Amino acid sequence: MAVDLHTHSTMSDGSFTPTELLEEAASIGLSAMALTDHDTLDGIGEAALAADRLGIRLVPGVELSLEWTPGTMHVVVLFLDQTSGLANRLADLRDGRDDRNTAILHRLADLGVTISPEELAQTAGEGAVGRPHIAALLVEKGHAESIQIAFELYLAKGRPAYVGRARLPPEEAFLLSREAGGVPVLAHPHTLGIDRSSEIAEALDWLVSIGLVGIEAHYGGYDGFHRSGLVALAEKFGLVASGGSDFHGTYKPDTPLGFGLAGIPIPDSVLSDLESVRP
Ligand code: AMP
Ligand code: ZN
Ligand code: FE
Ligand code: FE
């Protein structure tokens, strides 16, 4: 059986509702799926109902963006149960998104691209608003041919409409994860922006020492060669290998649920391995 432990719904920057995600998971034969929206737990209730009805296991989760340079550090936190402390912090993070998004719209206006706050709110719907929503509007208005190109032209780090936002220090994120009963997993490790093996070793040693538990080896964008390299890396640093597609529906059109770009399923053994290291 296969699983998918990294997905996004309409509660953040995915295009499928939580129910539609679980229905898709059922139709492709997954035994378990984690909902890991950015900075919000608002989809979990609906997802749990759909999962029950469809006979799939739902793993409650969230994806957090952490303070890190030179690249981007995201963690997917799996198996959340005690969510009160985390929920308060997530509300702050969503406020930080709103301020950042307003600043991005101003930058775009300076570049001659008009997107109103109302248009953004309408596209994003309820839940956490993110750059992919702005990217979709840039495509809709003819300023970019695809969401990817909208990032490359305007929204990615270093591009003219990029604005940073408040992120969690890794120490705090791992503490909050543990208090919430969760298992923190380093998402899409290539985005850390480090290549030298000595730097990777230094980063992973440090992250493990402050509470990182897992690492995404079976990521939607990785082929089999890349995945086995990361499984070996996980073993070397005492991390549990996880896996997820990072499905976003139309906001990331090349990545299907479950199987990712290369069409490779994620073994359900990752779920039992992660289960065994729950706090
Ligand atoms: P935000 O959380 O608003 O900063 O947006 C981050 C999300 O944007 C990520 O989770 C990805 O879904 C998407 N994203 C980030 N960088 C890129 C990129 N270069 N191309 C396409 N999508 C991206
Ligand atoms: Zn996203
Ligand atoms: Fe991410
Ligand atoms: Fe993600």
User: Which whole-number Å values give the CA distances from 132 to 72, 162, 216, in the listed order?
Assistant: 16, 12, 22
Query: In this structure, which topology does domain 2-90+166-275 adopt according to CATH?
Result: TIM Barrel (3.20.20)
pLDDT in tens, 58-109: 999 999 999 999 999 999 999 999 888 899 999 999 999 999 999 999 999 9
Q: Is 100 in the pocket of ligand 1 (CB under 6 A)?
A: no
Contact 153, 69 (CB under 8 A): no
Q: Is 156 in the pocket of ligand 1 (CB under 6 A)?
A: yes
CA atoms within 13 Å, Cβ hemisphere of 53: 12
Cα 69 to ligand 1 centre (Å): 16
pLDDT in tens, 112-138: 999 999 999 999 999 999 999 999 999
Q: Is 38 in the pocket of ligand 1 (CB under 6 A)?
A: yes
Q: Is 264 in the pocket of ligand 1 (CB under 6 A)?
A: no
- In which residue ranges of the chain is CATH 3.20.20.140 found? 2-90+166-275
> Whole-model pTM?
0.97
